């Protein structure tokens, strides 16, 4: 059997054996060879090895069967992929609303009384409705006059996305390189890199003169093309075939790297991104990316050593 489908339940849901068997029956009904269920985490994640069926067909069949057969079906995350290359050696991750829960530019906007206005521009840019670079310039312009010291105050609001620490620590413990590539700002990417244990980080620069934000962004602005370039560059530097790379993000500026990576995962993504990405996490946390690679729960690490 050369492929595997992985069913993953979010923390609020228990993955029942009957659901797994329904998924297996859906594969068999299409003529697939389906192996015995292999539980990666009891009640949470299970592998279904299969052969003689394309992964995209397998995923579609499982989603259809579970949506019709059980109320828990739609609340599962499902990955179907070739077995041989499921374990990845390079991860490129977006930062905001992916590794951390916040959009830090929106939080900075709180200090000028414009958080909701800036957040609206952010949402439109992340859904691909407006040009990303222009959205960055427009939002940063509204911060003109803010003191640099505000950055440290805003940083106190940052919280890790559930599963982020385990994702990076586990992959790094198994030899993978993990890189943070953000359309946000280096004053925050550096902090997240050190907090979580990424190998490296890339981000944009806020122009600051005499301890005050000028309202301008340092050029060139890191955008969707820059994220794709980063994926290709780090894959080349680490000599990792593209099929052994993973990318994760939620916004339109992440889509090119998601489509280019061996496994590109739209994480609780904006609608336009979720619609185009080949893999999605709609319900669970970032540990879903570990289960998708075949890691068992007893292999998870909590911090980079």
- pLDDT tens-place string over residues 44-65: 999 999 999 999 999 999 999 9
Average pLDDT over the chain reads 95
pLDDT score recorded for residue 39: 98
Same domain, 67 and 99: no
Q: In this model, does residue 3 exceed pLDDT 80? A: yes
Same domain, 76 and 176: no
Same domain, 242 and 279: yes
Within a domain: residue 263? yes
pLDDT score recorded for residue 67: 86
Q: In this model, does residue 69 exceed pLDDT 90? A: no
Among residues 60, 82, 104, the one where a domain terminates is: 82
Within a domain: residue 304? no
Mean pLDDT of 148-172: 97
Among residues 62, 82, 102, the one where a domain terminates is: 82
190-221 tens-digit pLDDT: 999 999 999 999 999 999 999 999 999 999 99
Same domain, 54 and 180: no
94-115 tens-digit pLDDT: 999 999 999 999 999 999 999 9
Same domain, 75 and 94: no
pLDDT score recorded for residue 279: 97
Q: What tokens does 47 get? A: 């592998």
Within a domain: residue 49? yes
pLDDT band with cut points at 50, 70 and 90 for residue 305: confident
The domain in which residue 65 lies consists of: 3-82
pLDDT score recorded for residue 52: 95
Q: At 216, which CATH number?
A: 3.40.50.1000
pLDDT band with cut points at 50, 70 and 90 for residue 71: low
pLDDT score recorded for residue 103: 95
Q: At 57, which CATH number?
A: 3.30.70.260
Same domain, 164 and 275: yes
Among residues 82, 99, 122, the one where a domain terminates is: 82
Same domain, 18 and 128: no
pLDDT score recorded for residue 19: 93
Same domain, 71 and 168: no
Q: In this model, does residue 72 exceed pLDDT 90? A: no
Mean pLDDT of 227-247: 98
pLDDT score recorded for residue 74: 67
Same domain, 203 and 247: yes
Same domain, 40 and 110: no
Q: In this model, does residue 245 exceed pLDDT 70? A: yes
Same domain, 56 and 110: no
Mean pLDDT of 141-160: 97
Same domain, 160 and 205: yes
Question: How many domains does the chain contain in total?
Answer: 2
Q: In this model, does residue 143 exceed pLDDT 70? A: yes
């Amino acid at each position: 059997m050369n492929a595997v489908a992985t069913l993953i339940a979010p923390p609020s849901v228990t993955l029942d054996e009957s659901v797994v068997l329904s998924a297996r029956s859906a594969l068999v009904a299409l003529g697939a060879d389906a192996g015995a269920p292999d539980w990666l985490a009891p009640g949470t994640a299970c592998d279904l090895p299969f052969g003689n069926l394309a992964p995209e067909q397998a995923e579609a069949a499982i989603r259809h069967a579970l949506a019709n057969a059980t109320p828990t079906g739609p609340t599962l995350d499902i990955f179907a992929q070739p077995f041989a290359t499921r374990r990845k050696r390079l991860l490129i991750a977006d930062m905001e609303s992916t590794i951390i829960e916040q959009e830090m530019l929106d939080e900075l906007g709180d200090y000028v009384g414009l958080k909701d206005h800036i957040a609206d521009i952010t949402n439109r840019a992340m859904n691909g409705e407006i040009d990303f670079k222009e959205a960055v310039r427009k939002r940063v312009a509204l911060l003109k006059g803010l003191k640099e010291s505000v950055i440290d105050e805003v940083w106190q609001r940052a919280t890790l996305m559930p599963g982020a620490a385990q994702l990076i620590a586990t992959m790094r413990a198994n030899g993978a390189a993990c890189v943070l590539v953000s359309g946000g700002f280096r004053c925050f990417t550096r902090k997240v890199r050190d907090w979580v244990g990424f190998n490296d980080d890339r981000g944009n620069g806020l122009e600051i003169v005499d301890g005050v934000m000028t309202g301008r962004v340092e050029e060139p602005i890191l955008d969707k093309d820059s994220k794709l370039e980063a994926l290709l560059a780090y894959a080349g530097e680490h000599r990792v075939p593209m099929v052994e790379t993973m990318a994760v993000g939620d916004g339109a500026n992440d889509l090119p790297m998601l489509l280019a990576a061996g496994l590109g995962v739209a994480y609780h993504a904006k609608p336009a991104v979720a619609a185009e990405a080949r893999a999605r996490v709609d319900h669970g946390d970032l540990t879903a990316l570990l289960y998708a690679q075949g890691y068992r729960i007893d292999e998870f690490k909590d911090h980079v050593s």
